[in-house]
Chains A and B, each alone.
Chain A
């Protein structure tokens, strides 16, 4: 655990000393700020249920999905690919840390950054709370859903990064994986007759549920188990690299 923490510290430091974190944070704030402003404009002067003011913020806007699909591969693209390219992977592999520890440390550092990116949006909640009563339940569940999605997409991005030494290829591969995971559930809307099968993968519908305060165990199991699978696949990819 200590080794993971040390490695995580190193990764987090690397994030915050590079322009990437600030670039991503700025773009998130522009996009989510615009979402929030549009949402408040639409609701201003209209009587709505107490849970409604924040529910579209989580999954109700196209910008949200754009951000969710693009940012995780960008955050993870360099994690393993850069190590391979700069040959630091050899040093890392000979260090007294296991592949699992390396992967987990890199994964949790990206997850920590992802959580940090969403932190400033709490200002929106506080801002709106000044003018109207808010139901905290749907807001908390909205953030929970966002973190679960982030956890899954980051794991997919990390796996993509473990397959190549080129950061751009890793980002594109990661984006393809995340988009596929997102799109598969949209089949529910295209094939209503088989909606039962597709609905299980419908991340869009799950996020709308989280946004309104409904917390279902299915998306929790789906996102976390998929994240674990990708992490396992990343460990195996690293293991293969070590012994090949």
Chain B
């Protein structure tokens, strides 16, 4: 009776309604609060057996220690094989530090914004991830994120490893540091113009360097020899047509003795009479490093290009040098034109030499550069494989340290937070055409040029993170096994369930 009384009281109804309403509002507020906290403080576990989605401790430490905001813009298509891995990795980076923000740009849906950013970053490769900090930017292309096994028998290259973590951490380190790596292009001995957009210039290659967050500067002959305090992280001598004089040779020696990084792109230049190859002026210095500069032009008929079947050829035999590893992994050839060869003799102790690339066995070193028409191998001419490029690393010219130190190009200091070694590095290639505007887009030419500069600057290897390689499995069911699977899971199992239901129903009726 008392219950009925309460039910019938209108005032009580209002009170109960208010009570329930208020409770629900409070519960909803609690729900919002809990989820707001959860959206800010969360943890992403990785239950895969190989922890393929986890970030390495090294990377986590670097990301957590970021002092500046880094904005990451992803231009990657969702169909790209790297997309899922990249999304997961970036989510973990954003989780590790509030300073990391990520934006995904769908180039089909948001064309205006995509176009604006593509122009801002000067990106031509649409499958890329751009890292931005203050005014500096660095972009990583999708082929730098995934390793493929190109020898796979299937029509599609086989996924071998996910290596975006190292590339991304390097890019973040690169843009978050105010100091940029300075690359100086020597001028004064007929080297290629680093700013020119003419076919023989190197403007395109240099533009790519700037996009990779390098600071690029031209250094004239006087500047190289006279200016005090001029500093270069990497010095490039690209295609000199006049031999370097003794002063310059000494300058190179001193630069290397201080741990400098030198890229020599040495074309075989015909002398005035067009009968022999001009000296480079660096023969003595290089011989002290165990490198012999050979005189002649490499002819490789088995690898000849249609462009110039005589002296233009593909190179796909790579050595163990780090700079060409991406090319070797992906089996991408480079195209050289009018190249010279080198020999490796007694490399001094403490210096490590590695081959960059070799010609094919059918190549030879043509010494008779005056002959007309298609070159033919002559007697006594050296046969392939010929060494077309090499790298050297170690302490060099340690006796030169005191000589003319105040008038030389100073080696820039070690970058903060990175582990640049004190060793000098030299990369030598017997051709500079591959980096010229007219040829840099051929094959892996641009990758070779960037790879050499990255190796010299120790970029991309500031930290070493092993690529993630999820275990691959192969499912191979025959037609009869597939049919048996169909009958089992689509027909028998549901029918069994129906019988079970009917059985229970009949039993209940009894």
Contacts and interface: CB of A to CB of B under 8 A. Distances in A.
Given A40-B485, A49-B470, A53-B473, A214 B47 contact: yes
- Most A CB contacts (10 A, CB to CB) among B7, B48, B504, B508 go to B48
B505 interface: yes
B505 A133 contact: no
B35 A233 contact: no
A229 B27 contact: yes
A184 interface: no
Interface in B461-510: 470-477, 481-482, 485-486, 488-490, 493-494, 497-498, 500-501, 504-505, 508
A131 B477 contact: yes
A214 B206 CA distance: 41
Contacts of B34: 221, 225
B47 A26 contact: no
A47 B154 contact: yes
Contacts of B474: 45-47, 132
Contact of B47 (A29, A48, A215): A215
Interface stretch (B15-23, B197-205, B414-422): B15-23
A45 B7 contact: no
A9 interface: no
A5 interface: no
A48 to B, nearest CB: 6
A233 B38 contact: no
Interface in B2-51: 6-7, 12-13, 16-17, 20, 23-24, 27-28, 31, 34-35, 38-39, 42-50
B45 A214 contact: yes
B98 interface: no
A221 B477 CA distance: 40
B20 A240 contact: yes
Nearest to A21: B501
Interface stretch (A70-78, A134-142, A169-177): A134-142
Contact of B16 (A47, A133, A244): A244
Interface stretch (B58-66, B104-112, B225-233): B104-112
B406 interface: no
Contact of A244 (B13, B105, B482): B13
15 contacts: A21-B501, A37-B485, A40-B475, A47-B472, A50-B50, A53-B473, A127-B489, A131-B475, A131-B481, A132-B473, A216-B42, A218-B42, A221-B38, A225-B34, A225-B35
Given A37-B489, A215-B46, 4 more contacts: A33-B490, A120-B497, A193-B110, A221-B38
